Chains A and B, each alone.
Chain A
Amino acid sequence: MIAVDFARAALPNEGALALLAMEGAEPAGLWAAADEACGGALRRAAEAAEFTGKKGQTCTVLAPGAGLSRVVLIGLGKEPDHTPLGMEEAGGSAAAALAKDSVAAIATDGMPASHAGHAALGARLRSYRFDRYRTKEGADAKPKLASLTVLTDDPDGARAAWPALDALAEGAPLARDLISEPPNVLYPAEMAERCRALVQLGLEVEVLGPAELTEHGFGALLSVAQGSAHEARVVVMRWSGGAPDAPPVCFVGKGVTFDTGGISLKPGANMGDMKWDMAGAGAVVGVMAALAQRRARANVVGLVGLTENMPSGTATRPGDVVKSLSGQTIEVLNTDAEGRLVLGDVIWYAQDRFKPALTVDLATLTGAIIVSLGHEFAGLFSNDETLATRLIAAGQATGERVWRMPLGDAYDKLIKSDIADMKNIGGRPGGAIIGAQFIQRFVRGPWAHLDIAGMAWSSKDAPTIPKGATAFGLRLLDRLVAEHFEPSA
C-alpha cells in the first residue's frame, strides 16, 4: 500500500514526477517549470512521442535532468474530462507508470484541492496487487512505489478532503482481497471471520450459522449449501452513523464462495472464475468498511449470504422443491441458478428485520447480462424510479456504470411453476431479467438489483483497476449513501 502525502506545489529535486497535461493547452505551472529545469527535454520528448495531452496518453522520459529519475506526462484530455473521475484515472495511470520508482510525486497544481485527493485515490486503487501466494517473486519484479506526494496549491484543503477518499482506498483492497482469494482458502466460515474483524472499524457484526439459519427457515439458501462440506453463513454488518430513528439502507451481496453449478454442473472451461461468484458480497463488505472508516452519517446495514455450491450426494437435485424464508416455495430446475435462491432469503430477512428505506442487492447473477451488456455496464433492475435514477447518476460519477434493464409481468410469467409458487429458471431469452423477476418476488419496498457478472473481474488493466477483482459496486453504493442519505456538510 503506498503512503500518500500532500505538499505545496514545488518542483522536487529527486525521485520521479508525474505531470498532468491538458489537451491543447500550453504547458504551465510545474509542467513548464520542470521542462525549464530540464533544459526543454520534456517538450522535446512530448513532441517526439506525439504526446498532445489526449486523455489516457502517457509519455515517459527517463532521467531528463534536474535530479529527477523519471518524468511521466499524463494526458488529462480536454476541459470536460477534468472531473474527479478523470483525476482518478490520471492518478492511476501515473501510479502504473511510476511503479519502478520508490519515491514519486504527482503534480496537480492549478487544480482544486479535492482533485489532488482524487489523483491520490486513483493511484492507490491502481497500485493494488494480490501477491500473497507469490512465494518466489524477486524484489526486482515487484513494484517499488512506496510513497506518493501529491503536489497541490492547497495542501491543507487536500488533507482535509482526503479521509473520505482514503476510506475508499482502504475498502477497495479489502473487497478485492476477498474476491481474489482462492476458494479453498475463502469459504463461508472464513469469509464470515474476515467480516467479523471489521468490528475494529466500529461496525456491529453478527454471524448467523447453520443452526440459526435452520431455525429461522432460510430454506432456499440452505438448499444451495447442503451439497458442500462447508456450511453456510449469513453476516449482518451494521453501521449506525445516522439519526437513531432513521430507517437504514440495506445492501445485500451474493456470496457464493465457489460455484460449481451443483448437480447442474458447469462445463470445465474457465470454471476457476467461479471463485469470484462472491464478488457482490465482497463489494458489500468493502463498502461497509469504507462507510465505517469515513464515519458516514447514515444508517446502513450490509448483509451477505455466504455458501458454496457443490455437487454431492447431499446436494439439491434439479426438480427439488424448497421452501424459502418468505414461505414461498421454489421448484429448483437448475441448481446453477443458485444466486437468486440465496438473495431471496437474505433480502427477505433484511426487510423483515430492518424495515429499510431501500434495498440494493449486488450479485454476479447471470451469464445473460454479459451477453446483454458485456463489460461496460452492470445491469440495473429496479422497482423504484428515484432509486434507479440515483444509481445511474452515482455510476456516472464513480465510473461504475449501470444500465437500466426492464422488469414486467411478461417476464414474471416465465417463472411460473407447475407444482410450486415459482421455478428458479425461465429459459435463455431474457435470462438476466428472469433472474431479477425471481428476486423481485422476495422484495417489499424500494429495491434495486445490480447484476455485476460482467463487471466483477477485469481481464485487462484499466486506469484505476489492475487486472483482476474490481470491487465493482463499492464506490457506487458509497456514493449513493453520501449523496442521498447523509446530511450535506
Chain B
Amino acid sequence: MIVRFRRSSEAPARAIPVLPETSPRKPKRAAVAGFTGREGEVAEVSGRRRRVVLLGMGAKRDFEAAGALAVARLFSLEHIALDARGLTPTEAAGLAAGSVLRAWRFQRLLTRPEQLHIAPDRCRVERIDVLVDEPERGEAAWARISAGVDGALFARDLVAEPSNMLTPASFAARLAQLEQDGLEFELLQVAALREQGFGALLAVGGASVNPPCLAVLRWKGTIQAAPVAFVGKGITFDTGGVCLKAGHGMWEMRADMAGAAACAGAVLALARRRSPAPAVAVMPLAENMIGAASFRPGDVLRSYDGTTVEVVDTDAEGRLVLADALGWTLARLRPQAVIDLATLTGSIVTALGHHMAGLFSTDDTLAAHVAAAGAAVHELAWRMPLAEGYRDELDSAIADLRHCSDGFRQPDACHAAAFLRSFVGDTAWAHLDIAGVESNETASDRHAAGPTGWGVRLLDRLVADRFEDPHRA
C-alpha cells in the first residue's frame, strides 16, 4: 500500500469528510443527495472527471472510521484520494490509518489473476493520496501512527496464513526477518527447551511433526531500564489434542497464534518508529495435534518455573505454553511489566462477544493504562475479575494446581487468568484474552474481513504513553 500526503491528486475518486462546522466545504450537490453529514452517512456524487464520496463525520469526529468507510465505498479502484484539507495533521493521519487498515487483504495464495477481480467485494486499493495543505506535516504525523499500522498488518498477514504454511519453524523464520528492522531475534529450539525445562510447551507441541520453539524479539530502545515484555500465545494450529475439538469451524484454529502475532507486530511498531523504550516479545510457538505422542488429560507436567500442573483438558493448551513463557520471561528478562495476549477461551466470547477483549490484571494502574491505550486506538478491553474463588477451583489432588476446571458451564476465562496469575509473581502483569476479537467474520464499513491484528496498536500506544519517559525507571 502506498500512502502519500500531497497537495493534489490525479486519483479517479476522492473521499471528503464533512464536519458539522465546515459545511461550506460540502459541495452543493450534496443537498440534492439529501446528505446531512451525520456520523457514518455516505453520499456519492459523480463529478465530471472523478467520483466524489462525502463522508458524514457527525460530532464524533472518528477519522479512522471515515478513512475505512472511504475504502469500503471505493474498494474497486486502485487509486483513491482522501481530502484532508483543513484537518489537523493528526486527523489526516487518522484518516490514512483507517483507510490502510480497511484496505488490507490477504491474497498471496490467489494464483489466478481473475480471482483478484471477480469477487465483488475484493478490495483493490493500492495507492492512497491524502490531500493536505502542508504535506510535510502530514507525513510527520503519519510516521508516528503508521508504525502501529505496519505492525498490525504484519500481524494480520501471519494470522491469515494457513497452518500448513505457518508452522512453528516457519513462523520463527518470519520473525527472524525482522532483524532488518533493528530487532534482535533469539530462538530456543527443542534441545534448548528440554535443557531449560519447558515441560508444558514441550508437552503441548509434542504430538506434532512440527516441533515447538520459543521465539524472542527484542527492541533495545535507548532508555536504560528493564524492558516491558509482551508474551503471546502462538499455537499455529489447535486441534484440541486428545480432547479433540468438534469439526465444525475447526479451520478457524489457524488463528490461534494471534496473540504471538500481535506481540511481534507490537515490537515491530516500536522498531519502525524508533521508540526509546526497551521492549521484548516472547512467543511460545507450538502446534497442538492429536497423535501417538500427545499429552493426555490426567498427565502432570512440570512447567519452566518448577510448578507441577495437572492437565484436565488438552484443549486448554494456551495457558500451558504461556505458563512456561511467563516463567522464562520473568526469570531471564526481569521485565518491569508483562502483558500477555492470547486467544485463550471460548468463555470470554460468551462474556464479552466480539466487541471487547477481556482484561485481567493484578495491577490497577497497569490495567487502567492498558484500557486507556485500547480505547485510544479502537481496541477495547473490559476489566474482568481475578478472585481467590477462581484459583480455588484449580486445586489439584496430585499436583500444585490443575490448569482448568472440570465441569459444565464454567467461567473458564476467569479460571485461565487465575492460572496464569500463579506464574507471574509480583511483577506488574496484565492478561488480554483476545479470543473474541482476533478476527472479523465478514467485512463491514469499518473493518476488513479476517484477522484484525488486535493488540498491536494497543501495545504500541501503551508504550508511547507510559514507557517512554526516561525518568520513569
Q: Smallest distance from the beta carbon of B171 to chain A beta carbons, Å?
A: 28
Chain B contacts for A374, CB-based, 8 A: 389-390, 393, 410-411, 414-415
* Candidates A367, A371, A377, A414; contact of B385 at CB < 8 Å: A377
Q: Smallest distance from the beta carbon of A459 to chain B beta carbons, Å?
A: 10
Chain A contacts for B389, CB-based, 8 A: 374-376
Q: Smallest distance from the beta carbon of B345 to chain A beta carbons, Å?
A: 9
Q: Does B116 contact A (CB under 8 A)?
A: no
Q: Does B409 contact A (CB under 8 A)?
A: yes
Q: Smallest distance from the beta carbon of A89 to chain B beta carbons, Å?
A: 14
A interface footprint on B400-424 (CB within 8 Å = 1, 0 otherwise): 0000000001111111000000000
How many chain A residues touch B (CB < 8 A): the figure is: 27
Q: Who on chain A is nearest to B345 by CB?
A: A371
Q: Does A431 contact B (CB under 8 A)?
A: yes
> How far apart sit A414 and B354, CA to CA, in the bound complex (Å)?
11
- A374-B389, A376-B390, A403-B385 as given contacts; A430 in contact with B414, CB under 8 Å: no
- A374-B414, A429-B354, A432-B351 as given contacts; A367 in contact with B409, CB under 8 Å: yes
Q: Who on chain A is nearest to B388 by CB?
A: A376
A interface footprint on B348-386 (CB within 8 Å = 1, 0 otherwise): 011111111000000000000000000000000011110
Q: Smallest distance from the beta carbon of A277 to chain B beta carbons, Å?
A: 15
Q: Does B347 contact A (CB under 8 A)?
A: yes
Q: Does A329 contact B (CB under 8 A)?
A: no
B interface footprint on A388-422 (CB within 8 Å = 1, 0 otherwise): 00000000000000011110101100100000000
B387→A377 contact, CB < 8 A: yes
> How far apart sit A434 and B350, CA to CA, in the bound complex (Å)?
10
> How far apart sit A367 and B385, CA to CA, in the bound complex (Å)?
18
Q: Does B436 contact A (CB under 8 A)?
A: yes
Q: Does A433 contact B (CB under 8 A)?
A: yes
A368→B350 contact, CB < 8 A: yes
Chain A contacts for B353, CB-based, 8 A: 410-411, 414, 427, 429-430, 433-434
B387→A411 contact, CB < 8 A: no
Q: Does A481 contact B (CB under 8 A)?
A: no
Q: Smallest distance from the beta carbon of A463 to chain B beta carbons, Å?
A: 13
Chain B contacts for A428, CB-based, 8 A: 349-350
B351→A371 contact, CB < 8 A: yes
Q: Does A373 contact B (CB under 8 A)?
A: yes
Chain A contacts for B409, CB-based, 8 A: 367, 370-371
> How far apart sit A431 and B390, CA to CA, in the bound complex (Å)?
21
Q: Does A351 contact B (CB under 8 A)?
A: no
Chain B contacts for A433, CB-based, 8 A: 352-353
Chain A contacts for B393, CB-based, 8 A: 374
> How far apart sit A21 and B347, CA to CA, in the bound complex (Å)?
41
> A residues within 8 Å of B by Cβ?
367-368, 370-377, 403-406, 408, 410-411, 414, 427-434, 454
**24 A–B contacts, CB within 8 A, in A order:** A367-B409, A370-B409, A371-B411, A372-B350, A372-B413, A373-B411, A374-B410, A374-B411, A376-B385, A376-B387, A376-B414, A404-B383, A405-B382, A406-B355, A406-B382, A410-B355, A411-B355, A414-B353, A429-B349, A429-B350, A429-B353, A430-B352, A430-B354, A433-B353
- Ranked 3 nearest A-B pairs via Cβ: A430-B353, A374-B411, A372-B351
For the complex with contacts A371-B347, A430-B353, A430-B355, 18 further pairs of A-B residues with Cβ separation under 8 Å are A371-B409, A371-B412, A372-B350, A372-B413, A373-B414, A374-B415, A376-B387, A376-B389, A377-B385, A405-B351, A406-B352, A408-B355, A411-B355, A427-B353, A428-B350, A429-B353, A433-B353, A454-B411
